Structure 1
Amino acid sequence: MPIEKTRPAAGIVHLGLGNFHRAHQAVYTAHAMTAEPGNWGIVGVASNSPRVVDALREQDLRYTVVELSPDGARFSVPAVHTDAYVAAREPERVVTDLAAATTRVVTLTVTEHGYHYSPRTGRLDVEDPTIVADLETLRRGAGAPRSGLGRIVAAVRRRGAEHATPLTVLSCDNLSGNGDHTGRLVREFAAELPDAEELLGFLEQRVTFPNSMVDRIVPATTDAERDLVAAGTGWADRIPVPAEPFSMWVLEDRFAAGRPAWDRAGAVLSDDVHAYEELKLRLLNGTHSLLAYLGALTGCPTIPDAAARSEIREAAHRVLREEYLPSVRVPDGVDVDRYERELFERWDNSALGHRCHQVGSDGSVKLRQRIPVPALEALDRGAVPHLLALTVAGYLTCLAPLGGFDPGPVAARMGDPVAERLREAARSCTGGSDLAALALTDFHLLGDDLAGREQFTRRVGELVDLLHTAGPAAATAEALAAPAPVLGETR
């Protein structure tokens, strides 16, 4: 395996040292510095878990990316991290590193619910206990904040006081308009502090928040990857990262203090990130959710297992083409037919074995990014998006089944920030219509606009009942047999 002997000086601090970062941004950065050397080493900061950090330190900050396909496995070792530590162990150090004049870019993969915003309003959740505590910490000027937003604002305060060096904060999470969203939340946090005027002025003049779209399927690590690396390289790597061969990164080129040559590593620089984001969040991620929930309820452990079932595969093709695609503005130069074929090739990658429970977790945050706009557009055309409704019904059945129903072991492994609240509500429900009304109308699970669309809520409830009484195959067949939405012009 190619292993570089030296590392560059750090110029990037990354919050969220999980598998995705190590198989995506770290790989692009390593390739970028091969093409154009620079001081763009990455200081990796894990939030709470020491597992990856401890292993990295024992392994001289090296790990293996294992690209898996039916053709076999390929190994690479991106030697790009200059240090790694756990924020919970060294909270003061996080702010120090973010505030350092040598830090020019902060990247984040903290998952959708790591941004501490209200799903209902999209604004900073000032009642979130972590945000409440961080605001109090920064008001007192003593101690270190615990949230990513709090740490960024604390660092901005220190940068303004000490050196005023510009900074870029780059979200790499699956959020609509992730740069705009992150910038708004940071400013809303800063606005709650006594020195808001100074903080907001610095943010306006010296900090940028580019939008980005990231795409690579990166499952959780298992012993199978550890065994592959040991057999293929002779190295007992404790923390290899499995990944598919495909990888894509689209970036707005708005960097306040420079960036690695990510474009020379294959990233796309575009002023139209939003169009790529729509394509990915709906066609890929939205369809992925349908595969995960129907697969879980059918007992399929992996996405390839789910995609191999004819009724689930047809539902995936149809939801993509008939219900998601009309809501998407396809970027110039993208061939939708080819994009669809590539998606199914990726989902068919049995060597990767992406787990349905992993894809289906955190659905309350993910579906809110994927379902409302295409559902509302279909409803406004006078049509019911049956397969979008089936996706939501599958989510509710996996996470909050009605009394006496067992959704199976795959669904049982799905996690979600509102799971307990939904399960508690489900105990009082007598049928699917009750559960759908509680989730969509009372809880506003998919936002305010969709909460008032009784036709969609009723359809979700009918499909919840079918999933419970007749099973996923019958519910899928019924949704497929219903009249397809009248297709609008693809934007």
Structure 2
Amino acid sequence: MTTDTNTKPRLNREAYGSGAELPVKILQFGEGNFLRAFVDYAFHTLNKETGFNAGVAVVQPLPGGMVEQLAEQDALYTVFLNGIKNGKKIQENHLIDNIVKCINPYKDFKALLDVAKLDSLQFIISNTTEAGIEFVDSDVLSEESPKSFPAKVAAVLYERYNHFKGDHSKGLTVIPCELINHNADTLKKVLLQYCELWKLDADFAAWINEACTFHNTLVDRIVPGYPRDEEEEFSNKLDYQDKFMVTAEPFFLWVIEGDDQLKKKLPFDKTSLDVKIVGDMQPYRNRKVRILNGIHTAMVPFSMMYGNETVQETVVSPFTMKYITEIAFNEIVPTLDMDKEELKSFTEEVLDRFRNPFIRHQLSDIVLNSVSKFKVRVLPTILEYFEKNGKLPYHLVFGFACMIRYYKGSWNGKSLSVKDSKDIVEAFDQAWNNTSLEATVEEILANTGFWDQNLNNITGLHTAITYAIKNAEENGIEKGYQNFISHFS
């Protein structure tokens, strides 16, 4: 028997909240599914298990965001955890109530700057995708919100610096979660660029360097997001309407570079969560980004063009699973300078997570910003494999070809959902307007804005990608892939 969700009360803090409003200790840039099911869930757990007493002020990083809709249900929402953990089936739901302020800086920039003045504020956290930490030289310091995320952070820090008259004890702990290597170091570098661009006084730059701390991170949890295909099923488990419920796997890993002082600030060691505060997170980062994220990014266009819709379908299908096995064990793992048995074990664990029967992780959700993801997650494997072996990792190269073909925007008469920045989409559109496939591939591989180098200089890559796309178009993904591998092996 189903329940009409329209008759249920909307989530609100009066009926479902847990007492007094929490003080804002965390300024969070991003309101998307991942942050809500990972960071906000983590601090909710820290509050619950240790009395950390931290409220979150969420900032919408882009003009087309959702903070106003989230505020309509008092920023309350449900996280559903479904999967297998330590051999046991996990099915839980948690009402998250620690977001206490929702800010759209494009409509109310002053509200963001007011948070900067709060004595209670201690942390800045973000996840604005790999493309989010960028320096935009047209951004200015004014009464209106700048475009880029780092410029907003620079404005916040400058407001705080001035309000507290440079007091070093009011510096903030900055913990970005964007999936780029040295994410905090990169953000700090860009912040100092804004100090120079805006001609701010040297004492402010010194305050950033000396009073604020920046911590590189690694985050790991699969978050499919809103359960569109099972909306009624999940809604029936709740006594209220929740337009922001989010599904995630039970697996949780947050690695943060830091010292004993950070461990005191963030007592996650007193919780049930796997949060590792370590001196060097690079081994964890390389393993996760190259294997878990690398497989994700490499397989998505390949699998979608084959006809799959979810991650689970991809690993259940014998054809696409064979592709995953090839890229994982024969091309990705051999390039990593770590214990090979440990890497193989981690890879098997990743594939088990992909098989999670409770989560329909839509491939169309993962395809967002594929170019920047490919550059970080897959391209280093291709280049290192080539350097070590003197030949290309042809299974990954075929996946690269599928990604390039995906950006044409249609396949077998059906539209493909291309989700990327306007500049990247326009660059692909222009490349696909060439009169020959060879010219299209050459233009895309030559785009140093995509890859930081001209990939036509990699011996055989242009020829292989052109051959792969041509075969896929003529014979379909399965036969095209088989022909490609037979030709180059």
Task: Name the TM-score, length of structure 1 as normaliser.
Answer: 0.86
Q: CA deviation at 1:224?
A: 4.5
User: Does residue 313 in structure 1 map to residue 321 in structure 2?
Assistant: yes
Q: Measured at CA, do residues 270 and 330 of structure 1 come closer, stay the same or move farther in structure 2, by a change above 3 Å?
A: farther
Q: CA deviation at 1:213?
A: 0.5
Q: Measured at CA, do residues 443 and 400 of structure 1 come closer, stay the same or move farther in structure 2, by a change above 3 Å?
A: farther
Per the alignment, in what secondary structure is the counterpart of residue 240 of structure 2?
Answer: coil
Q: Measured at CA, do residues 193 and 447 of structure 1 come closer, stay the same or move farther in structure 2, by a change above 3 Å?
A: same
Counterpart position of 1:436: 441
**Residue type matched to 1:157 in 2?**
Y
Counterpart position of 1:250: 255
User: Does residue 468 in structure 1 map to residue 473 in structure 2?
Assistant: yes
Counterpart position of 2:107: 89
Counterpart position of 2:30: 16
User: CA contact under 8 A between 2:105 and 2:112: conserved in structure 1?
Assistant: yes
Counterpart position of 1:477: 482
Q: CA deviation at 1:72?
A: 7.4
Counterpart position of 2:417: 413
User: Does residue 341 in structure 1 map to residue 348 in structure 2?
Assistant: yes
CA RMSD for the aligned pairs? 2.7
The 2-side partners of 1:50 and 1:238 are apart by 17
**Residue type matched to 1:306 in 2?**
T
**Residue type matched to 1:293 in 2?**
P
Task: Name the TM-score, length of structure 2 as normaliser.
Answer: 0.86
Counterpart position of 2:149: 148
The 2-side partners of 1:442 and 1:158 are apart by 38
User: CA contact under 8 A between 1:362 and 1:416: conserved in structure 2?
Assistant: yes
Counterpart position of 2:45: 31
Which structure exhibits the higher relative contact order, with contacts defined as CA atoms closer than 8 Å and separated by 6 or more residues?
A: 1
Q: CA deviation at 1:99?
A: 4.4
Q: Percent identity?
A: 18
For structure 1, list consecutive stretches of 5 or more residues without a partner in the other structure: 117-123, 127-131, 485-491
User: Does residue 391 in structure 1 map to residue 391 in structure 2?
Assistant: no
Counterpart position of 1:107: 125
Q: Measured at CA, do residues 81 and 442 of structure 1 come closer, stay the same or move farther in structure 2, by a change above 3 Å?
A: closer
The 1-side partners of 2:353 and 2:175 are apart by 26
Q: Deviations over 1:223-274 (max 9, x none)?
A: 4454234311322212101112222111112577963323333211222212
**Residue type matched to 1:53 in 2?**
V
Per the alignment, in what secondary structure is the counterpart of residue 471 of structure 1?
Answer: helix
User: CA contact under 8 A between 1:225 and 1:241: conserved in structure 2?
Assistant: no
Q: Which moved more, 1:204-213 or 1:5-14?
A: 5-14
The 2-side partners of 1:343 and 1:481 are apart by 28
User: CA contact under 8 A between 1:315 and 1:476: conserved in structure 2?
Assistant: no
The 2-side partners of 1:200 and 1:150 are apart by 14
User: CA contact under 8 A between 1:104 and 1:257: conserved in structure 2?
Assistant: no
Q: Deviations over 1:8-62 (max 9, x none)?
A: 3110010101111110001111111223223421111223568743444333331
Q: CA deviation at 1:452?
A: 2.2
User: Does residue 422 in structure 1 map to residue 422 in structure 2?
Assistant: no
The 2-side partners of 1:288 and 1:407 are apart by 23
The 2-side partners of 1:454 and 1:444 are apart by 20
Q: How does 1:326-337 map to 2 (within 5 A)?
A: 326-330=334-338, 335-337=342-344
Q: How does 1:202-351 map to 2 (within 5 A)?
A: 202-224=207-229, 226-253=231-258, 259-263=265-269, 264=271, 265-330=273-338, 335-351=342-358
For structure 2, list consecutive stretches of 5 or more residues without a partner in the other structure: 1-15
Q: Deviations over 1:413-448 (max 9, x none)?
A: 1312212221221121412x3222111124553221
Q: Measured at CA, do residues 449 and 216 of structure 1 come closer, stay the same or move farther in structure 2, by a change above 3 Å?
A: same
Per the alignment, in what secondary structure is the counterpart of residue 59 of structure 2?
Answer: strand
Count of equivalent residues: 461
Counterpart position of 1:129: none
The 2-side partners of 1:125 and 1:331 are apart by 41
**Residue type matched to 2:92 in 1?**
R
